[in-house]
Amino acid sequence: MKIKTPILATLLLVSCQTNEVKIKSKQKNLSHEVQVDTTAITQRYIMANDTFYLVKRNYPHMTTPFYEYVYRTYEPKEYLRLIPKVKNEYYSQLEPESLKIELGDIPSQWTEVIYFGNEYYLKSPSDLCWLDQKIITNSGLISMTCDGPFRNKLSKVIKLNDNQYELHFGLDEKHLSKIEITVIDRERGITIWKTDKNKYKLYADINKFKSIPIARADCNGNKCRNELESEYIDLASVVKKAF
């Protein structure tokens, strides 16, 4: 017995250590699974099933499981979804016969671009109400909204140079307002629009936007609580660097 006791004790100790390792390993795996399953914070660049996620938020403890995903895609059908459209019944109200102006070579259809993770993306929200789109016609600038499109009457379109245009609104100099459009990526049709109030926003020409990845929101077939927005970028500086 004096010989067997140390051996038995050693075996018991090894067995306990092995079980402890297994338990810790299991707890670690469970902890990892819980963290992934219940996270409600933004996680960038998550690869899963060959899908490149920009954002992945899960809410498994809600009465009905809910998630907010934003993934990168180049699917052709998603580009079709982003072409701004106006229903025929609106055109009679938006396009009066009087006051037609020359547009020159300025592109006519534009959709919102966001800057995220040091890259430009076409914004594709779960609800198109949250997508900013523009259509330039020879009588006005049509803005797409949830309440239907509305038109600002254009008085003039000026091409300043190969990379810049100005849209003028108003009938006289005292009531003139304008939008300055600067091309920052000619190949992909990415531009920066600047208003009189020094507000800047990114848009893409739909004739060239198919080389820009789409940030597509998917919230389990529902409207997302939080649509993806641009991260901060000094657009004023980007405009200056365009020349």
Q: Give the model's pLDDT for residue 17.
A: 44
Say if residue 1 is in the same domain as residue 92.
no
- Single-letter amino acid, residue 211: S
Intervals of the chain under pLDDT 70: 1-50, 87-99, 171-175
Rounded CA separation 192/238 (Å): 9
pTM of the model: 0.76
What total of structural domains would you count in the chain? 2
Q: What is the dihedral angle through the alpha carbons of 21, 26, 29, 32, rounded to the nearest 10 degrees?
A: -100
* Sign, Cα dihedral of 31, 32, 34, 38: positive
Residue 4 domain flag: yes
Residue 48 domain flag: no
Say if residue 9 is in the same domain as residue 93.
no
Residue 73 domain flag: no
Residue 58 domain flag: no
Rounded CA separation 159/171 (Å): 19
Residue 77 domain flag: no
Residue 196 domain flag: yes
CATH code for the domain in which residue 100 is found = 2.40.128
* Sign, Cα dihedral of 180, 243, 235, 75: positive
Q: What is the DSSP string of 150-212?
A: EEEEEEEEEEEETTEEEEEESSSGGG-EEEEEEEEETTTTEEEEE-TT--EEEEEETTTGGGS
Q: Give the model's pLDDT for residue 139.
A: 81
Q: Give the model's pLDDT for residue 133.
A: 96
Residue 54 domain flag: no
Say if residue 118 is in the same domain as residue 3.
no
Domain that residue 97 falls in: 84-241
Tokens describing residue 47? 């690869």
